[in-house]
Chain A
Amino acid sequence: MISDLLFKRIEINKRAAERNAVVDGNRSFTYGKLCKLIDSFGSVIRQQGIQKGETVAIYLPNSVEFIISFFALSRLGVISLPLNVTNRETELEYYLSTTGSRYVITEGEYLSEIEGLKSSCDLKLILVKGESNCWSVEKMDEISTSGTAIDEDDKVLYLFSTGSTGKPKCISRTHANLRALAENHTSTAGWNEDDGILMAVPMSHTYGFGNFVSAIQAGATIYTIADFNRKEVTDILSSGRITTFPAVPFMLDMLSRSRNLSGKDFSSLKLVFSAGAPLATRIFQDFKKNYGIYPRQLYGSSETGVISINMSRDIEKKNRSVGRPVKNVEVKIVDNDGKELTFGEEGEIIVKSPSMTSCYENSDQESEKSFRNGFYYTGDTGFIDDKGYIFITGRKKLFINISGYKLDPVELEQLLLENKNIREVAVKGELNASGQEIIKAFIVPEKTMKYSEIVDFCRSRISEYKIPRIVEFRESLPKSPTGKILKAKL
């Protein structure tokens, strides 16, 4: 099972128990201590009467509590549903009801976001921080719980994937999937127990989650950051302890354009990953100029986990590539008929991986479209060069990419139409001055509306990154003879 990455490690190698596993602000936890905390929290979960095969949501930021929660649940055969702390009521309700989650692990700071759902979703909360009488890492009981019998094919994780269907699609991963992901990622990246991984990207998403599990596989030290803050990130990056920094292009751009970097030493950095959105050459060059290291693109998806990492020795020339497939992962390019294409020919990228799911949990129709003959059809288009490097050139799936976060425009359109003052709406992506994709909504109101009314309506219901940055109020929207809104004409 996935927790063997921790427990077997310290069983086989006693010295490993003394090494730092997690540094969360000014709190440090060795691998030995982390295992004790996981067992202690596991007993709390068990006392709640939560059974093997149930789903429990983790609504926590990057933190040692997130890591403890995931592994404690996994040892009891319980499926984790990590939720981003930016998620709001409408999203939370959907994720919790789709997976049948009755329990949420959270902390005092996020209570107000979730308390409103307690009665409508019949939820029970398990607090791990911020309340005087809750279990916490500072006052845990030293209880050793024996693990539940786990099959490697048991589900251990639910994630959601965005694109084309209006509603996010639920994906499960098994213990075997996650073990394969960690093994493939770690051996391709060459991590070991001397590495320090800075987790600033959310561990509740596939990219952050994959890096966190792989860091544990390597026996490395994870440094967690709850919110992206340039000063905090540059202070840790220059502490001499960080060797790998998984990021998204937006973070790299903001860090590159920051001014007060003089006197800081980033020479401990060996790898900087960029994923979630294409890495512009400008950001690639600027980051190197300021931090002395080129970022490398990593490609993955919620459905598959990590697909490829660009570990090229000639990164200056290959910077636009997302690299070659990681260990044990097969990638092909196919045409519209599913026929495999050769080097340099452009088509859809399809992936076969031991870390991938085989279907969507809540949609047979979408599963049939996306999972065929053992391959996942990513919806991304691209080509592979004669050295095996993958280049992404476009996407077939419909979504807007906001600094690595994906939004299906239909999801926002459906939400906005729930506002009785909105008659028609169309949402599309637009590039801003720094080349980042932003959300623009075209709205036909029933009566005069202000932009702030749209923001207020969205803010309590969806993550802030999904709020349209620009709203254009119109008297009508262009339509086809059949009444379909013609977004291309907007």
Chain B
Amino acid sequence: MSEEIKHRIIKVLSNQLNEKTESFSLSDNEPLFEYGLGVDSVSTLEMIVALENEFNIDIDESDINADVLYSISTLEDYIKNHL
């Protein structure tokens, strides 16, 4: 379950960066910020909407802060709590 969620998060993130999922290597605790994810409100909202559609969940963008967006691990925690 956890690996599946992680894989689906990576799929969403790699799409955001025009990268192929297979070649997108990012460790669980690496800051997403270093990859240009969530650097501005436009990219943050795009990522939120893509995650909503991937996981069929509703995310209130006012709930999303830098802590949630920090890494794959923090995103995974957030998504698990909202599934």
Contacts and interface: CB of A to CB of B under 8 A. Distances in A.
Interface of A: 227-231, 250, 254, 257-260, 402-403, 430, 432-434, 436, 438, 450-452, 455, 464-465, 467-471
A433 B40 contact: no
A448 B61 CA distance: 35
Interface residues on chain B, size class: 20 to 34
Given A254-B49, A465-B40, 20 more contacts: A227-B41, A229-B61, A231-B60, A254-B45, A257-B49, A259-B52, A259-B56, A403-B42, A432-B18, A433-B18, A438-B43, A451-B36, A452-B31, A455-B33, A455-B36, A465-B41, A465-B42, A468-B36, A469-B39, A469-B40
B58 interface: yes
Contact of B15 (A228, A433, A471): A433
B24 interface: no
Contacts of A228: 41, 45
Contacts of B35: 451
Contacts of A433: 15-16, 18
For B35, B56, B58, B61, the residue with the greatest tally of chain A CB atoms inside 10 Å of its CB is B61
Given A229-B62, A403-B42, A432-B16, A258 B36 contact: no
B66 interface: no
Nearest to B35: A451
Nearest to A405: B42
Nearest to B60: A231
A455 to B, nearest CB: 6
B36 A469 contact: yes
A254 B53 CA distance: 11
For B35, B36, B41, the residue with the greatest tally of chain A CB atoms inside 10 Å of its CB is B36
Contact of B34 (A259, A402, A434, A450): A450
27 contacts: A228-B41, A230-B45, A230-B61, A231-B60, A231-B61, A231-B62, A254-B45, A254-B49, A258-B49, A259-B56, A402-B42, A403-B42, A430-B18, A432-B17, A432-B46, A436-B42, A438-B43, A451-B35, A452-B34, A455-B36, A455-B39, A464-B40, A465-B40, A469-B17, A469-B36, A469-B43, A471-B36
